[in-house]
Structure 1
Amino acid sequence: MFGPRVALASLSGRSDAAWAAGGAEHAGAAFLGGIALDERSREAARELVARDREEFLPEDPLAFVDAELEAIDDVPIQPAFNVRSATVEPIEAAAEICADRDAVIEINAHCRQDELCDAGCGEALLADADRLCEYVAAASAAGATVSVKARAEVDGVDLPATARRIDAAGADAIHVDAMDTESAIADVADAADLFVIANNEVRDRASVREYLSYGADAVSVGRPSDEPAVLRRVRRAVDEWFEGGEQDHGSGTTTAEPASTPEPHS
């Protein structure tokens, strides 16, 4: 799906074209956004801004998606855009833009802020598998490569079962915030034929090797995605793993050394 198998994970209000270009030396993909597309999700984003969170709130969110993707058209990185919507129609429109720009559209079923969940976005969408699959199918029908950003440890959500359903609906990838359950990656990887991107506290060789040993196809870096030292460590660990063929998936261990072996910070 992309290589090197390091992604820059979306950070609302921060992950724009300049941010993606800044990390391109170390990563194979960049998930811009998230961006609220329809009025309900945009109202939720405005409420978040009112309590001092960063959010992208351009006048025309679809034009913003297009402009940001155009801005990194010549950057050597796989572009992707993380989107939120309480309704399916804007997802389809954004997917058409992403398809035209050879970008991945990522459906946000991840955010847990009350405002977004009350609007039907984020975790509320993850908990509504029928609606999530409708979004995936619409984005896939528009010709885009489709990822779903999801979270482990959500009450009432069987994440492996959801992975199987979005796979059948046309998704290509699932981007999993593992929270405190790193082994959730193995459950998802075993459940569906999706490209699995592991996220949460990816910082160094140990964290990379743990996620890859559980069957992740790639890892993503969130908050320190603008820190070159972290990105260099992660990229080096990913390259070592795949170049060395150390792929003993599902156990949480590697063939060369324990996943808990730390790497000194540079």
Structure 2
Amino acid sequence: MFHPRLALSSLSGQSDAEWARAGADYAGAAVLGGIALDEDARDAARKMVERDRTEFLPEDPLAFVDRQLAALENVPIQAGFNVRSATPEPIAAVAAVCRDRDAFLEINAHCRQAELCAVGCGETLLRDADRLERYVETAVGTGATVGVKVRAEVPGVDLPSLARGLEDAGASYVHVDAMDSEFVIEEIADAADLFLIANNGVRDDETVREYVEYGADAVSVGRPSDNPAVLGRVRAAVDRHLAPTADH
């Protein structure tokens, strides 16, 4: 899907085109966002800003996605956009924008902020697999390349089973925040034939090697994604442990 097999993971209110451009010397992919699409998600984001979180809140989310992806047209990195929505209606429209810009659409089933969960966004989608699969099917129907960002350690959620459902719905990849349960990467790799991006604590050769041994196809860096020293170490480890092969 991309080489080198290092992705920059979205950070709300921070991961824009300028951020992706700055990391292009190290990473093969950059997931911009997250961006709230519908009114419920946008209201939740506004409440989060009121308590000092950073969020993207442009007047027109779809136009913002398009402008940001257009700004990366000549940058040698595979772009993606992480999106949040409490309803399925905006998914097809943003997926079409990503398709037309040759970008991935990443559905956010990851964020655990109370405001987002209260309106049915983020990790609440992990507990509503049917709705999450409908989001994937809707996006895939536009011809976009679709992935889902998930997190481990959510009570009552069986990620390997969820991954199989996402694969059946047409997803191309799953982006897993392993939290402190790195072994879940192996369980998902055994359960589904999705391109598997491992996230959380990726900082050096040891962490990259561990995720690769568990079956990850790629790794991603989140909070230190603007730190050249960390990116340099991770890129060197990716070159050692995830050498280019035929795409998964």
**TM above 0.5:** yes
Q: Judging changes above 3 Å, is the alpha-carbon distance between structure 1 residues 164 and 244 closer, same or farther for their aligned structure 2 residues?
A: closer
Match of residue 148 from structure 2: 148
Match of residue 40 from structure 2: 40
**Deviation at residue 242 of structure 1 after TM alignment:** 2.9
**Deviation at residue 204 of structure 1 after TM alignment:** 0.5
**Deviation at residue 214 of structure 1 after TM alignment:** 0.2
Match of residue 23 from structure 1: 23
User: SS of the residue aligned with 2:220?
Assistant: strand
CA distance in 1 between partners of 2:6 and 2:222 (Å):
11
User: SS of the residue aligned with 2:242?
Assistant: helix
Question: After superposition, where does 1:86-165 map in structure 2 within 5 Å?
Answer: 86-165=86-165
CA distance in 2 between partners of 1:40 and 1:244 (Å):
42
Residue by residue, what CA displacement relative to the aligned partner does 1:180-228 show, whole Å, maximum 9, x if unpaired?
0000100011110100000001001100000011000000000000001
User: SS of the residue aligned with 2:146?
Assistant: strand
Percent same amino acid at aligned positions? 68
**Deviation at residue 89 of structure 1 after TM alignment:** 1.2
Match of residue 224 from structure 2: 224
Match of residue 202 from structure 1: 202
CA distance in 1 between partners of 2:41 and 2:178 (Å):
24
- Give the aligned residue type for 1:158: D
Aligned Cα root-mean-square deviation (Å): 1.0
When the two structures are aligned, how many residues end up with a matched partner?
A: 245
Match of residue 78 from structure 2: 78
Gaps of 5+ in 2: none
Residue by residue, what CA displacement relative to the aligned partner does 1:77-132 show, whole Å, maximum 9, x if unpaired?
00000000001111111000000000000000000001000110001111100000
Residue by residue, what CA displacement relative to the aligned partner does 1:117-158 show, whole Å, maximum 9, x if unpaired?
011000111110000000000000011000100000001110
Structure-2-length-normalised TM-score? 0.98
Gaps of 5+ in 1: 246-266
- Give the aligned residue type for 1:86: A
- The answer to whether the Cα contact below 8 Å between 2:212 and 2:242 also exists between their aligned partners in 1 is no
CA distance in 2 between partners of 1:164 and 1:103 (Å):
23
Question: After superposition, where does 1:45-84 map in structure 2 within 5 Å?
Answer: 45-84=45-84
Higher-RCO chain (CA-CA 8 Å, sequence separation at least 6): 2
User: SS of the residue aligned with 1:13?
Assistant: coil
Q: Which has the larger displacement, 56-65 or 236-245?
A: 236-245
CA distance in 2 between partners of 1:242 and 1:201 (Å):
17
Runs of 4+ deviating beyond 2 Å: 242-245
Q: Judging changes above 3 Å, is the alpha-carbon distance between structure 1 residues 224 and 46 closer, same or farther for their aligned structure 2 residues?
A: same
CA distance in 1 between partners of 2:201 and 2:152 (Å):
14
- The answer to whether the Cα contact below 8 Å between 2:3 and 2:244 also exists between their aligned partners in 1 is no
User: SS of the residue aligned with 2:59?
Assistant: coil
- Give the aligned residue type for 1:65: V
CA distance in 2 between partners of 1:144 and 1:156 (Å):
30
Match of residue 2 from structure 2: 2
The yes-or-no answer on 1:236 pairing with 2:236 is yes
